[in-house]
């Protein structure tokens, strides 16, 4: 999977010279910059672009795209490079457009609970900016990703069970299309029936249909009361059954995260916490004082039925922050279980009624494997990850990791689920697309790609197999 080979398309010197004339030192061909932009946070092999441009406006992006299109040179948009499936690798070379300097928060409309930001704004930057407004933006992938990258990967995180994913929270987009035109996908209305839903076509398009330069987002009022709790369970089944019953009862939990015993061990070592090494749920409740109390009491009673230990509460903000910081570092904590190894993250998502079966069989596969694996998941959505630790240079370990990964995906698809709940396809998961969607749906995706990007220049080799 990591060594998929593509022929590189030569980037003419004349294009680099024109871009340099336009951008000056905001164009770089330095080896370290190219290397950094050709690699994401995962184990997938790097493929550097031929140049990186640091754009500062939508109009500038449009000029860069127009020039690249005239020279038939590939374009790879780049946010913070935190994606996990080889998304930013410039498989055919070309120009990387780094959006990180487009980091202006353009509007915050308190009365309408929305905002408009440039694509390079990160989720933490947005929430820092909103701190005094009483509003917040909930979507929280573990990394401090850019809003443009989160939109392009249809990201979500621990809050999605309550607030949805990027699919649910983007109101409209400004996009530079592959021929250099600037389009807007919708207005600010919360709902609209006016034509094809282009907003949602670009959400999750992984840079294959255009460059997103501005995003209008929904915001939420900071809840009156919040509390978080940790609870250890006697078995994986007991923890997962608690989740299933909670969701089926319609309890509006804000976060409900599963961590298996191995993941808790990793977190304790890495974040210097002292959680019991057992299958564990992290919860967070949002609402009025009375609502939070009611939700928590219900979930506690369900957990007790399944033999859980007493809830350990984190009501002070600093304790909640510590808890969720440890959760967000779960990936790096797992890597530290075997320093020097890389991690192959998986990302299946199944209907909630199938979650216990999916996690139980996955844990059994992991226990029977010589490789170390941790399991962690946004289980309120039926979404969970194993991180399989491996040496990518060892063919036997790679084959074993791939076997485990394939079995997880096959199981998820059999249960009516997906090969990726939130990380996306990049080039790492291309092999699963046809099994998940079937040939006719893939053909339609190809037709859409062909209509919008007939030259196939936008992030080639990603998302759709065979392109
Ligand atoms: C520790 C860790 C934890 C993570 N946890 C989660 C999680 O809980 N949930 C989750 O969803 N993800 C998670 N991720 C994955 C990652 O953070 C997300 O995929 C994130 O949305 C990527 O954003 P980015 O800005 O880093 O994008 P990049 O990695 O820079 O780019 C990702 C893709 O989007 C395209 N792209 C970027 N910007 C634009 C743009 N402006 N216009 C068009 N295309 C663009 C790129 O070409 C590429 O295909 C995690 C990653 C790490 C390292």
- pTM of the predicted protein model: 0.97
467 has a pLDDT exceeding 90: no
Tokens for 7? Answer: 């022929």
**Among 86, 152, 169, 271, which residue has the most ligand 1 atoms within 8 Å of its CB, making it the best to mutate?**
152
3 has a pLDDT exceeding 80: no
For 130-176, the pLDDT digits (tens) are 999 999 999 999 999 999 999 999 999 999 999 999 999 999 999 99
Could you tell me if 398 and 59 are in contact, meaning their C-beta atoms sit under 8 angstroms apart?
no
Q: How many CB atoms lie within 10 A of CB 203?
A: 24
H or E element in which residue 42 lies: none
| 23/7 Cα distance (integer angstroms) | 28
Measured by CA distance, the residue closest to atom 23 of ligand 1 is: 149
6 has a pLDDT exceeding 90: no
For 56-83, the pLDDT digits (tens) are 999 999 999 999 999 999 999 999 999 9
- Residue 331 CA: nearest ligand 1 atom is 1
| 50/29 Cα distance (integer angstroms) | 7
Q: What is the mean pLDDT of residues 315-321?
A: 90
- When pLDDT is cut at 50, 70 and 90, the band that residue 103 belongs to is very high
Distance (Å) from CA 153 to ligand 1 centroid: 6
Measured by CA distance, the residue closest to atom 44 of ligand 1 is: 207
Domain covering 225-415 in this structure, CATH number? 3.40.462.10
Q: 191-194, long-range: CB within 8 Å, 24+ apart, which pairs?
A: none
Alpha-carbon separation of residue 353 from 166, 375, 466 (angstroms): 24, 19, 34
Q: How many CB atoms lie within 10 A of CB 112?
A: 15
Q: What is the mean pLDDT of residues 216-236?
A: 96
Domain 13-100 class, CATH top level:
alpha beta
CATH 3.40.462.10 domain extents, the chain: 225-415
Q: How many CB atoms lie within 10 A of CB 295?
A: 20
| For the chain, percent of residues with pLDDT exceeding 70 | 99
CATH 3.30.43.10 domain extents, the chain: 13-100
105-221 fold: 3.30.465
**Among 85, 145, 330, which residue has the most ligand 1 atoms within 8 Å of its CB, making it the best to mutate?**
145
CATH 3.30.465.10 domain extents, the chain: 105-221
**Strand residues in 3-90 grouped as ranges (E):** 27-28, 51-54, 75-78
| 122/90 Cα distance (integer angstroms) | 23
Produce one character per residue of 12-26: b if its CB has 16 or more CB atoms within 10 Å, e if not.
Answer: eeebbebbbeebeeb
């Amino acid at each position: 999977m990591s060594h998929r080979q593509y022929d590189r398309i030569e980037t003419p010197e004349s294009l680099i010279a024109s871009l340099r004339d336009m951008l000056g030192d905001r164009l770089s061909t330095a080896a370290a910059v190219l290397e950094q932009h050709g690699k994401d946070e995962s184990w997938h092999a790097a493929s550097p672009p031929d140049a990186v441009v640091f754009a500062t406006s939508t109009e500038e992006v449009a000029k860069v795209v127009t020039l690249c299109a005239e020279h038939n040179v590939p374009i790879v948009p780049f946010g913070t490079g935190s994606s996990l499936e080889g998304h930013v690798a410039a498989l055919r070379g070309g120009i990387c457009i780094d959006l990180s300097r487009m980091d202006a928060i353009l509007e915050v409309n308190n009365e309408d609970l929305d905002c408009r930001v440039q694509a390079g704004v990160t989720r933490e930057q947005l929430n820092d900016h909103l701190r005094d407004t009483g509003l917040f933006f909930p979507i929280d992938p573990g990394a401090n990703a850019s809003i443009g990258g989160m939109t392009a990967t249809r990201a979500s995180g621990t809050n999605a069970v309550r607030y949805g994913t990027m699919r649910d929270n983007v109101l409209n987009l400004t996009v530079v299309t592959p021929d250099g035109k600037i389009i807007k996908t919708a207005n600010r209305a919360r709902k609209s029936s006016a034509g094809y839903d282009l907003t949602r076509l670009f959400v999750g398009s992984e840079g294959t249909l255009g460059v997103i330069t501005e995003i209008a987002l929904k915001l939420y009022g900071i809840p009156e009361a919040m509390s978080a709790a940790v609870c250890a369970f006697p078995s994986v089944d007991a923890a997962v059954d608690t989740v299933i019953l909670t969701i089926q009862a319609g309890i509006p939990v804000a976060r409900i995260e599963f961590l298996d015993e191995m993941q808790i061990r990793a977190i304790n070592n890495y974040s210097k916490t002292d959680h019991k090494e057992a299958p564990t749920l992290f919860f967070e409740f949002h609402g009025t004082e009375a609502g939070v109390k009611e939700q928590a009491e219900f979930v506690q009673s369900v957990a007790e039925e399944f033999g859980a230990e007493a809830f350990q509460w984190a009501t002070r903000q600093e304790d909640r922050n510590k808890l969720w910081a440890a959760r967000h570092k779960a990936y790096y904590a797992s890597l530290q279980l075997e320093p020097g190894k890389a991690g192959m993250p998986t990302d299946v998502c199944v209907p909630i009624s199938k979650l216990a079966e999916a996690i139980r069989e996955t844990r059994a596969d992991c226990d029977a494997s010589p490789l170390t694996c941790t399991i962690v998941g946004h289980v309120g959505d039926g979404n969970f990850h194993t991180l399989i630790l491996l040496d990518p240079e060892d063919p036997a370990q790679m084959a074993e990791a791939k076997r485990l990964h394939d079995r997880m995906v096959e199981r998820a698809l059999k249960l009516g689920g997906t090969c990726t709940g939130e990380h996306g396809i990049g080039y790492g998961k291309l092999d699963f697309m046809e099994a998940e969607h079937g040939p006719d749906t893939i053909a339609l995706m190809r037709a859409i790609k062909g209509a919008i990007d007939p030259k196939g220049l936008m992030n080639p080799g990603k998302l759709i197999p065979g392109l």
